[in-house]
Structures are given as structure tokens and as C-alpha cells.
């Protein structure tokens, strides 16, 4: 039987320090799997440090390594998509370069997928705790998962990492989703298939720094909501109806009061308060519509998800 190939897709942005450590670890894991052929796909997401150089050196040492380098930073979602497009393996894993996704889980994940009696198409990971994360960030992350699971059809698992192993069939399904605003956690769930979840304790990154700030995480959360549910639009409409009902009741009350007690025109402070409240809510709802409109705008431009500057094929040509 021919050897089965496992592609490991790694998106790298400023990971010059982590990459050599990552390569050592992944090597150790695959040395113990002689029946499996490894294809390591390193996607340089427009790094500003020496990541690309490190990748090229690794590629020269080890022909199992393939790489692509973007013309600028397109973000991890784009890097993951490019890597998946590029991968040729029968099974494809996506993981981070900072060893927060422990490579030594891969054999177990592979075993689960290859076991024909279980019929799983994907093995995903979630961390059971959030050690080493600021408490306020954990709080908002938990709140996000609670809200989005209530209001959207796709199921997002709290603590889920983007670390997973998939069959070729599932990868092909993912590649059919060509949207520009990519929210992978939702896309994985959207394509369906049987997923087995395995858990592990949170690990701190080996070197370098996380690229996520609180603001970028909030934006990411908003993207997830806009990409996977239109519930906020319904909410805006319901709020409109609610205010109409309140206004209607108020009109009747005021008319009745005037007829019964004469004309009690009392002060404009209450008027101003209502004016502010109502216009605030109107702007808020407009903002919600704006979010969806802006995403539609970006989507209909049909810009490419990523632009490649260089791949390992180019470096061969130069030699």
C-alpha cells in the first residue's frame, strides 16, 4: 500500500524564533510514524522579521517542506486558506507555529481518523482552561461564545483552537467556501462532517509574542457574529416595533390625560431625554445595518483572499 500523506499547514507571522523549535518537534513526531509521509506547508503571512529566511533554510535542508510567502500580511485566516489550497495530503492538519498546538497530539488524531470503525472526518482540539490569559479577556471570550451560540445556527465550541486534522473530503468542502471575510471557527462548523473533540491544557507560546490585542480580538468577535448570523438585524427590527408600541401607548395616555385633566404640558426635559434615547437607538440600529452592508461591500468586490509573492518553486528556478 502506498504511504499516506499528511500535510501540516502552519501560518507564520513573525515567527523566526518559534519556527526552528516547531520544526524540531514536528520532526520528532513524524520520525515515530514511519508509515506516514509528511508534507509541511509553511505559509509566511508577510512577516517583517527573518521568518521567510528561516523557512527557506529549512526548505533547503528538508525537501518535505514547501512554502508560500504573501506579498503582505493578509491575516491568519487567509494564510490558512492558502495553505489548505496548496496542501496535497490525504489528511491535512492546520496548526500554529508557536507550539501552543502540541504536535505530539498528531499521532493520536491520525489514529482516530484512520480508524475505519469510528467514521470521523475531523479531529479538533479545545483547551480546557485559559491559563496564562488575562482574566478580562477570558471573560469576554466566554461571553462571546455564549452569545453567538444562542443567536446563530452554527455551533462554536468554547475554547476551540484552530488546531485540527481533517480528511481530504472535508478540506475540499472548506475550499469551496470562497468568502473574503473568513471566520474559520464558523466555517469548520458550517461544512459539517463528524468531528471528534479532544481536550488539552493550555500551553504558553514558546517564543515571540501573540499578535492579538484586545481590540483585534473584539473585531474578530464582531466578524464572527456578522459572518454567521443575521440575528442583530432582526433585533433592530424588533426594537423598532417595540418603540412604536411604546409610542402608541404614550399617545393614548397623553390624549386621555388631556381630555380628563385639561392640558398638563409639563416641561421639555423629559422630551429631550426621549429624543436622545430614540435617536441613540436609531443610530445603533443603523450601525448594525452598516456592519452587514460593509461586509457585503467587501464581499462583492471579489478581491483575492491572498496574494503570493514567492513559493518554493520560485526558489528552485533561481538555483
C-alpha–C-alpha distance, residues 307 and 311, integer Å: 11
Smallest gap from residue 294 Cβ to Mg ion (A): 28
Residue with cell 509553511: 42
- How many CA atoms does the CB half-sphere of 23 hold within 13 Å? 22
Stretch that binds Mg ion, among 4-12, 94-102, 179-187, 264-272 (CB under 5 A): 94-102
Smallest gap from residue 124 Cβ to ligand UDP (A): 15
Smallest gap from residue 20 Cβ to ligand UDP (A): 14
Reference 122, options 79, 150, 84; nearest CA is 84
26 touching ligand UDP, by CB under 6 A: no
Smallest gap from residue 79 Cβ to ligand UDP (A): 4
- According to DSSP, the β-strands at 36-44 and 65-70 are parallel
214 touching ligand UDP, by CB under 6 A: no
Spell out, one character per residue from 155 to 194, where the chain touches ligand UDP: x when CB under 6 A holds, - when not: ----------------------------------------
97 touching ligand UDP, by CB under 6 A: yes
Residue with cell 445603533: 284
Q: Which of 7, 11, 167, 184 binds ligand UDP (CB under 6 A)?
A: 11
Residue 155 is given by DSSP the state -
> What would the grid cell of residue 201 be?
491544557
98 touching Mg ion, by CB under 5 A: yes
DSSP 260-316: HH------SHHHHHHHHHHHHHHHHHHHHHHHHHHHHHHHHTT--S--EEEEHHHHH
Nearer to ligand UDP, 12 or 58 (CB): 12
Nearer to Mg ion, 105 or 154 (CB): 105
Under the rule (CB under 6 A), what is the footprint of ligand UDP? 11-13, 15, 45, 73, 75-76, 79, 96-98, 100, 205, 210-212
Amino acid at each position: 500500500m502506498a504511504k499516506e500523506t499528511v500535510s501540516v499547514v502552519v501560518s507564520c507571522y513573525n515567527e523566526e524564533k518559534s519556527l526552528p523549535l516547531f520544526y524540531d518537534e514536528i520532526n520528532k513526531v513524524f520520525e515515530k510514524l514511519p508509515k506516514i509521509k509528511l508534507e509541511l506547508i509553511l505559509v509566511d503571512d508577510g512577516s517583517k522579521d527573518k521568518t521567510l529566511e528561516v523557512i527557506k533554510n529549512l526548505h533547503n535542508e528538508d525537501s518535505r517542506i514547501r512554502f508560500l510567502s504573501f506579498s503582505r500580511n493578509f491575516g491568519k485566516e487567509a494564510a490558512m486558506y492558502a495553505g489548505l489550497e496548496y496542501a496535497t495530503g490525504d489528511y491535512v492538519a492546520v496548526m500554529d507555529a508557536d507550539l501552543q498546538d502540541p504536535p505530539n497530539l498528531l499521532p493520536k488524531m491520525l489514529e482516530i481518523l484512520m480508524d475505519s470503525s469510528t467514521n470521523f472526518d475531523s479531529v479538533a482540539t479545545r483547551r480546557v482552561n485559559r491559563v496564562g490569559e488575562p482574566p478580562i479577556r477570558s471573560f469576554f471570550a466566554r461571553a462571546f461564545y455564549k452569545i453567538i451560540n444562542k443567536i446563530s445556527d452554527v455551533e462554536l465550541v468554547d475554547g476551540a483552537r484552530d488546531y485540527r486534522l481533517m480528511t481530504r473530503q472535508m478540506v475540499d468542502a472548506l475550499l469551496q467556501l470562497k468568502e473574503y471575510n473568513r471566520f474559520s471557527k464558523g466555517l469548520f462548523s458550517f461544512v459539517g462532517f463528524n468531528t471528534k473533540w479532544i481536550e488539552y491544557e493550555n500551553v504558553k507560546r514558546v517564543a515571540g509574542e501573540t499578535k492579538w490585542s484586545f481590540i483585534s480580538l473584539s473585531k474578530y468577535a464582531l466578524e464572527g457574529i456578522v459572518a454567521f448570523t443575521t440575528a442583530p438585524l432582526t433585533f433592530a427590527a424588533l426594537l423598532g416595533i417595540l418603540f412604536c408600541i411604546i409610542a402608541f401607548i404614550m399617545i393614548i395616555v397623553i390624549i386621555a390625560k388631556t381630555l380628563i385633566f385639561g392640558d398638563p404640558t409639563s416641561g421639555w426635559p423629559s422630551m429631550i431625554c426621549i429624543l436622545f434615547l430614540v435617536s441613540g437607538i436609531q443610530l445603533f440600529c443603523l450601525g448594525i445595518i452598516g456592519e452587514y452592508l460593509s461586509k457585503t461591500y467587501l464581499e462583492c468586490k471579489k478581491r483575492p483572499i491572498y496574494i503570493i509573492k514567492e513559493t518554493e518553486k520560485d526558489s528552485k528556478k533561481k538555483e
